[in-house]
Each structure stands twice: as structure tokens, then as C-alpha cells.
């Protein structure tokens, strides 16, 4: 199975580049981060693929998307696992296949000390979610982890 992951930073803005990569690489699964759009805002479809978009409530931010080639059949897809007090803002898609889970993720950036606390809690909840999945079958994690060294 061929899987590609790309932080596209606005799917509609980069439609041409996205289509070029899809045509050239022809992946079975294409995971996107920072799609920044909702399905009802999309003006294009990709022939031969089914799109599963998970936008943020404010669609100009964040969001993930998975394009799965026709004929490749996921068993299930989970969007942003529910956790009391946490809104994941379209940051997680867990696609279950017969032999593994594929988790497409866009992790929060911790630009301030306050946001760092939220990020650390998010990391802990994400890890617990992955551990639950691993009890059932192997997990592949892809996406943008926002692991950037801050300036001092």
C-alpha cells in the first residue's frame, strides 16, 4: 500500500500541485494536514478517490483530510476522538484497515507557555488514543507534529 502525507497548508490554494502529485504518484492513501476548508467549500473532486475531510470548526484553520483510492476499503474512520473538555479542531483521522490503523494528525504548535501546557495535555491524550488502537492492531502515524525549536 502506498501512503503519502503532506501538510498542504490550504488545499484549495494548492489544488494544482495536489492534483499533480496525485497523478504522478497515484497513492492508495493520501493524508493531508492543514486543509483549511470544508467539503462544501471544495470546487473540485479527485477522480478515482473518495475524500474524507475533517475540517476545524473555523475552516480557515487546521483540518485534516484523507483521500482513499477507489477499491481500497477502510473498515472505519474516526474523526477527532471525543475527550471531555477538548476540541481537536479537525486534527486527527484514524483510518482502520484490515491489518493496521493509519492515523493522520496535525499537532498543535506550542508558541507560548500557556499553549505549551495545552499541547502537553494534548500529547498525553493523543498517546492514550494511540495506545488503545495498538491493543487491537499496529498503528502507523503520519502528519505534521509541529516539532519546531522555539527561539530564545
Catalytic residue numbers, as ranges: 106, 144
C-alpha–C-alpha distance, residues 76 and 43, integer Å: 26
Number of Cβ within 10 Å of residue 40's Cβ equals 8
* N-to-C CA span, the chain: 42
User: Please, is 37 exposed, middle or buried when counting C-beta atoms within 10 Å of its C-beta (0-12, 13-18, 19+)?
Assistant: buried
Lookup: cell for 131: 495506545
Amino acid at each position: 500500500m502506498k501512503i503519502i502525507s503532506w501538510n498542504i497548508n490550504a488545499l484549495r490554494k494548492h489544488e494544482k500541485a495536489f492534483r499533480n502529485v496525485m497523478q504522478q504518484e497515484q497513492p492508495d492513501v493520501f493524508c493531508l494536514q492543514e486543509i483549511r476548508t470544508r467539503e462544501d467549500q471544495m470546487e473540485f473532486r479527485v477522480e478515482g478517490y473518495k475524500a474524507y475531510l475533517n475540517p476545524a470548526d473555523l475552516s480557515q484553520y487546521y483540518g485534516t483530510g484523507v483521500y482513499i483510492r477507489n477499491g481500497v476499503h477502510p473498515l472505519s474512520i474516526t474523526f477527532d476522538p471525543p475527550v471531555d473538555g477538548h476540541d481537536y479542531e479537525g486534527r486527527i483521522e484514524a483510518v482502520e484497515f484490515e491489518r493496521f490503523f493509519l492515523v493522520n494528525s496535525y499537532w498543535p504548535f506550542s508558541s507560548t507557555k500557556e499553549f505549551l501546557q495545552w499541547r502537553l495535555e494534548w500529547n498525553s491524550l493523543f498517546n492514550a488514543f494511540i495506545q488503545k488502537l495498538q491493543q487491537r492492531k499496529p498503528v502507523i502515524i503520519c502528519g505534521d507534529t509541529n516539532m519546531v525549536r522555539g527561539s530564545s
